[in-house]
Amino acid sequence: MSAGKLYDTSERELATLRCKAHNLSKDYNDTYEDETEKRAAILKELCPNLGKGTFIQGPVQFDYGVNFATGENCYFNFNLTVLDCAPVTLGDDVFIGPNCQLAPPVHPLLSEERKIRFKEDGTPYDIEYAKPIVIEDGVWLASGVTVCGGVKIGKNSVIGAGSVVTRDIPAGVFAAGNPCRVIREITEKDSVYLKKELL
């Protein structure tokens, strides 16, 4: 799985890790926001590679948690889904809006290769592979963004609400759509302090 090759989803070690992450996700989702010590303890076990000052609102759903790493001072809003079958790596100061999905897994396109199979003991499984995701420093994913496996989003870029990111996005741009594409470069003219209606 880590090498990006086809793997059996029912493999015992993977199934154990997934079950642990799913249970810890549920535990985190059942906490109150002011239970800061309890939430921190769950997150430390669920996602041991979080950078200093990173905040995850919840609810969340992680497949493994251990393959998810952030830099410092990242913020994640409601309903974060991370299917970290491959590494999902974020830089510093990444903002992720509500209802976002980071989705490295890839299933076969041919239905006969994608269907559920059964081992001799009756255990169901399927085959899939996964591609890593890299989100660099200062990126903002607005509400409802899906980032597919194999994608890198460059430093300080902004991805518009509802976008589906299927290919790399360069640094310093505003990109949006399904599939997501670059709309324009972000410049100093985008400063909120130049918008008189906001001051």
Q: Which residues are catalytic?
A: 107
Q: How many CB atoms lie within 10 A of CB 115?
A: 10
Q: How many CB atoms lie within 10 A of CB 190?
A: 12
Please state, in angstroms and rounded to a whole number, the distance separating the CA atoms of residues 143 and 23: 26
Residue holding tokens 């997934």?
18
Please state, in angstroms and rounded to a whole number, the distance separating the CA atoms of residues 95 and 136: 11
Residue 20's SS3 state is helix
Q: Is the peptide bond before 124 cis (omega within 30 degrees of 0)?
A: no
